[in-house]
Chain A
Amino acid sequence: MNDTLIALATIYAQLSLLAFGGGNSILPEMQRQVVDVQHWMTAREFASMYALAQAAPGPNMLVSTLIGWRVAGLSGALVATFAMTWPSCLLTLAVSSVWFRFRDARWRKLVQAGIVPVTVGLVMAGAVLLTRTTSATLPTFLMTVVATAIFLRSKLHPLIVLAAAAALGASGVLV
């Protein structure tokens, strides 16, 4: 184990246990660690990797695989992926045997409801950080606004919207 692998393991294990409300809530912290603290890549590269993980099949948290691979090759990809997933899986397995005891408890519902606003703030922070990085030009920003509206209002498959965004980019009109 070298220092990079240890850093990957520590960062992603922490993210795994702090991801309340699912994967999107840890986006700001992942960017902070990967870009600002460890200087493994620029904010732009981080946004590209996140985009690749969104466009590829599978859970979105595969961005951890991609970052691990980029930082430390195959061993980095494996370490980051397992650190991202297994701490929370182990916790889930541990709690699942006692879940029936507090599933319907009042405190359980209050705790879950209480975390929602925090999750909303975190996901919004991730969205703004990403958008600030990716909207390098005015046309790109306008496209982001339109794409957001499409995601919100239409039932179009997300992949179609992502493919159209990539095609628009390739055509050069966003530069």
Chain B
Amino acid sequence: MTLPARSSPPSLRELFTGFLTVGVFGFGGVLPWARRMIVEQRRWLSGPEFTDMLALCQFLPGPNIINVSAALGYRFAGWPGAITCFTGLMFAPMAIIVALGMLYARIGGYPVVQHAFAGLAAGASAMVMATALKIAAPLGRRPLALCIAVLTFIAAGLLRVPLLYVVLVFAPASILLLANFER
């Protein structure tokens, strides 16, 4: 079911509280929460409008959800809107993570806390590994794309080449190669 976007634009207060809930409840990937709030609950954008805005933010660099918050706020209320949405999204999580960091600095010396953190860190690596495998899977039957991914992996992961050079060399090369030689 596609819900239409409602006609009246949200107020700054609504923008702030909307993104505040996304920031607080968005564990392990905030985007699904943001979509639910923006499209289904508050109906600021229709499904296709949200998809289009997300496409812009995925096309450009940067953390996608944070770009979405700024773009959406700007669309409804200009600069104050962009700053309101950004602050709503980031304020609570920043306070929480600094509090957790302070707590960790206090109790991080105890062996049981160190062991718990060793487990947590391994779990978090598994999360990134799962993400990597998920986005790598579609390249399985595309030899050229797979080859570029492997070379990028070697450059960034094994040879530890600075990212700036990796992006400057591999991104244009990949775009040109795939555009010309992949069908």
Tell me the A residues contacting B by CB distance below 8 Å: 14-24, 26-29, 32, 36, 44, 47-62, 65-66, 69-70, 74, 77, 81, 84-85, 87-89, 91-93, 95-96, 99, 103, 108, 110-131, 133-136, 140-141, 143-145, 147-148, 150-152, 157-159, 161-162, 164-172, 174-175
Contacts and interface: CB of A to CB of B under 8 A. Distances in A.
A58 to B, nearest CB: 2
The 3 closest A-B pairs by CB, nearest first: A169-B119, A88-B62, A58-B93
Contacts of A116: 135, 139, 145
Contacts of B148: 117-118, 121
Interface string B112-149: 11011111111111111111111110010000011011
B106 interface: no
Interface string B36-80: 000000000000000010011111111111110011001100000
Contact of A61 (B66, B86, B129, B175): B66
A70 B86 contact: no
Interface of B: 23-30, 52, 55-67, 70-71, 74-75, 82, 86, 89-90, 92-94, 96-98, 100-101, 104, 112-113, 115-136, 139, 145-146, 148-153, 155-158, 160, 162-164, 166-167, 170-171, 174-179
A17 to B, nearest CB: 5
Contact of A110 (B26, B65, B130, B179): B179
Interface of B is mostly: helix
A18 B152 contact: no
B67 to A, nearest CB: 4
Nearest to A54: B124
B163 A130 contact: no
A59 B63 contact: yes
B97 to A, nearest CB: 5
Contact of B123 (A17, A49, A162): A162
Contacts of A96: 56, 71, 74-75
Contact of A77 (B71, B94, B132, B146): B94
Contacts of B29: 60, 158
Contacts of B125: 47, 51, 127, 130-131, 133-135, 144
Given A127-B129, A151-B130, 13 more contacts: A49-B101, A54-B28, A54-B124, A57-B23, A92-B60, A110-B178, A123-B135, A131-B125, A134-B124, A134-B125, A162-B28, A162-B123, A167-B119
Contacts of B63: 19, 22-23, 59-61, 84-85, 88
A14 B166 CA distance: 13
Contact of B128 (A27, A32, A61): A27
A125 B157 contact: yes
B121 to A, nearest CB: 4
B174 A115 contact: yes
Given A88-B66, A118-B167, A159-B28, A77 B98 contact: yes
Contacts of B127: 54, 147, 151, 158, 161-162
B16 to A, nearest CB: 15
A51 B124 contact: yes
A134 B121 contact: yes
